[in-house]
Structure 1
């Protein structure tokens, strides 16, 4: 199964969201909670290669199957297309269309794997890099940044817009939670295991990087303010065949040996083991599939031109997306409650009106529990739309019941002469 493109970068650097692909994937979701792992970073550093192991771990339920890595003759490529070369292969943002389900704390969670275009290639402008990173951060619950050998200060600049957004949101909206959940710095081909050991030695390494004083110190400070959890992971070099061979599609498990294989297994489990999974939230609350679609759609509209949008514009888009989701969920709640009554009976107009009033109150609770970041005036305007949609549905159901009653009476009258004759 190949990954689906949900966003592309045009030849002139403009950003295009494929909302149909994103909607198609998320509307297959069979639970409410989502965990979305997204990997981004410098091109030609093996992001897509690594994500194939993420997919395999999920398919084989690696948290309870010690043999999830598979036999030696098993091919590595699985889900994402990837190859080596001087040009970035992945152009945009791709999602594995298969949603994987796991149990976390007794609740079902849907897991999505995301691959982002190689950053800093010759076709990507600084604005393109920043915009891509912002969409990736908004989409994911666990953002993994992939680096080669070390993390340079300039490598963090593409986080700037995301972090400015996170800080502005914390100041503008009445919420205590941070905007983003988890950020992992994954350093490939780490050359100094004597200073910081492979694997979890990355935590100490990244902590030191973020404390060093340099021209982008403000970006570094903002990382801990924008993300709830920040950590690092250091990978050793693979063997020579993986490093230079041009026929990556032919690689098998037998080509993944020694410490490199051990650390792949360690990394994947640290990200995807149910106890380590991070559920996608927006301002402290789990975000629904509709909520995520609304958010990505609104923000994508701001970056179509390829230029960085103003923070104020992003915040306004966030409010619009949040209110749109609150409207959808409130109307859905109302319809479900009214359908439950009408499906099994033919209530009188008075009974239907009473049920309508009860359903409206429940819808109002749902709406205001979700519409928490807009102004009172903004939220009131959207609530008025909720009431209008509910009233329209109420009138529709009233007419439906009237017609069903009429049909029932007609059927009874047609049968009456036969009964009398009998």
Structure 2
């Protein structure tokens, strides 16, 4: 089996990646901009005043719509949980692994500071909202396909500044957009806090799509102090989780329901017990992540946990309704979900499911439009030569059918009537794209560019010859009329040239173009009638 293949070069040891977020939009490279240092990108912001949520769509597009990754199936690994549980700290070791996994000692030197997502010691929270790492990692799976791995950091729950709605919203957004969630908290705390998501939403989703709505959930139990009961690592974690998720008669009915539903919500549930990182990590204000201050047991845990998480066969691709989601599709889901969490109250599970169905259909629309655009670009886009209108329309019809069939064949949520609205939207948007491609192709026609002056020049020549002929045979009044029309044609030609040169009076120029087009069309029709009669 081939190992993961990442297309990013590591940052030199000791070089900081902190706070490299950019606010400017620039093209579509996997880093925020070519030649830049990678860093965390704030995509969801929480307002401190009214606790509202906003999505930075442009920042998200810079990450997800890079040409190298936008059509790849996406793996979103998020780390969530209570504040001050070392989520960013763990994520930075994951980043270090992704950049150095080809090295035997990927953990690095003993004195090397830990960089990446911003983190620090102390009792106050550090991360707010939701952040993504600006680089999307391409990893090759065993079957040769490449998946795009996105790393997500989330605001810690239950701090002194956040409301219950803030915590629930961050958790719900990260759970609904990620395919692998690492939850740094105790399972009982998670279950008690987010009953709504695991019970009502999970039940509605199962009724709608008959599939588990989420992929992978791993409880990361930090500072585990009882290895004599349950050993560190996955084995002890599995035994501990089985014990915690047991349904007992003495439990409250609501807690029993949550424990029963969590297995129906996630395809895979696991647990890892991680020891305390050491007193220096917890108490030293000068700690910067250097391994020399980290407990050996903690480092051993990292060496087991992180390579297992990123093993190609363990990377769970994001799925909605059984469809694997691309980076482009993930953008639509983010935009749909953020809408329902902008109110004062938590949304009803039905609203959450409706948002999923909306994003599911919008992702199918985006994929169909992208197919049409790419194929039409290959036909008549850019610097490609002019294509005859009949031939272009024939190819358009073929590509249009392909795009519509792609939308139809994609499994969607919401029912037929709901999906028909998006089918109609797709047809309208594809028609707009066709008109744009048609005009672009017509602009390449050399004769079309000079059609108006050519028609006017031919008209001037004909009127000049006709005027002389009429004068020769004694029809002076008719000759004078021809001279007048010739004068008007010359004025029109000079006016058209001035408008083209100056860019002014475009309405007059359009009228002259239209008149020349009508004249040419009438002559063409007469020519066709003559050919048919012959």
TM-score, length of structure 1 as denominator length:
0.90
Q: Secondary structure of the equivalent of 1:191?
A: coil
Tell me, yes or no, if the aligned pair for 2:442 and 2:448 is still in contact at 8 Å.
Answer: no
Task: Return the index of the structure with the highest Cα Rg.
Answer: 2
Specify the alignment match of 1:327 in structure 2: 365
How far apart, in 1, do the equivalents of 2:76 and 2:391 lie? Answer: 45
For residues 95 and 400 of structure 1, do their structure 2 counterparts lie closer, same or farther at Cα, with a shift above 3 Å needed? closer
Matches within 5 A, 1:14-413: 14-28=52-66, 30-31=68-69, 32-60=72-100, 62=101, 64-76=102-114, 78-105=115-142, 106-147=144-185, 151=186, 153-163=188-198, 164-173=200-209, 176-200=210-234, 201-213=236-248, 214-215=251-252, 216-249=255-288, 251-343=289-381, 344-370=384-410, 372-407=412-447
Specify the alignment match of 1:418 in structure 2: none
How far apart, in 2, do the equivalents of 1:18 and 1:338 lie? Answer: 31
Q: Secondary structure of the equivalent of 1:275?
A: helix
Q: How many residues align?
A: 404
How far apart, in 1, do the equivalents of 2:141 and 2:194 lie? Answer: 29
How far apart, in 1, do the equivalents of 2:441 and 2:120 lie? Answer: 61
CA RMSD of aligned residues (A): 2.2
Q: Secondary structure of the equivalent of 2:374?
A: helix
Tell me, yes or no, if the aligned pair for 1:128 and 1:306 is still in contact at 8 Å.
Answer: no
Partner deviation per Cα, 1:282-330 (whole Å, 9 max, x = no partner): 2222112222111111111111135210111112211221221211211
For residues 247 and 161 of structure 1, do their structure 2 counterparts lie closer, same or farther at Cα, with a shift above 3 Å needed? farther
Deviation at 1:152, TM superposition (A): 5.6
Deviation at 1:138, TM superposition (A): 1.3
How far apart, in 2, do the equivalents of 1:222 and 1:139 lie? Answer: 19
How far apart, in 2, do the equivalents of 1:17 and 1:326 lie? Answer: 21
Tell me, yes or no, if the aligned pair for 1:83 and 1:247 is still in contact at 8 Å.
Answer: no
Deviation at 1:29, TM superposition (A): 5.8
Partner deviation per Cα, 1:334-382 (whole Å, 9 max, x = no partner): 2222232225453333222221221121011111123521221222222
Q: Which moved more, 1:206-215 or 1:263-272?
A: 206-215
Higher strand share: 1
Q: Which moved more, 1:228-237 or 1:67-76?
A: 67-76
Deviation at 1:171, TM superposition (A): 0.6
TM-score, length of structure 2 as denominator length:
0.71
Tell me, yes or no, if the aligned pair for 1:133 and 1:158 is still in contact at 8 Å.
Answer: no
How far apart, in 2, do the equivalents of 1:43 and 1:399 lie? Answer: 56
Which has the higher relative contact order, 1 or 2, with Cα contacts under 8 A spaced 6 or more apart? 1
Tell me, yes or no, if the aligned pair for 1:15 and 1:306 is still in contact at 8 Å.
Answer: no
Deviation at 1:181, TM superposition (A): 0.7
How far apart, in 1, do the equivalents of 2:65 and 2:442 lie? Answer: 34
For residues 119 and 359 of structure 1, do their structure 2 counterparts lie closer, same or farther at Cα, with a shift above 3 Å needed? same
Partner deviation per Cα, 1:43-68 (whole Å, 9 max, x = no partner): 111111111100000011x2x43211
For residues 230 and 337 of structure 1, do their structure 2 counterparts lie closer, same or farther at Cα, with a shift above 3 Å needed? same
Deviation at 1:21, TM superposition (A): 1.9
How far apart, in 2, do the equivalents of 1:226 and 1:35 lie? Answer: 18
Q: Secondary structure of the equivalent of 2:312?
A: coil
Tell me, yes or no, if the aligned pair for 2:321 and 2:413 is still in contact at 8 Å.
Answer: no
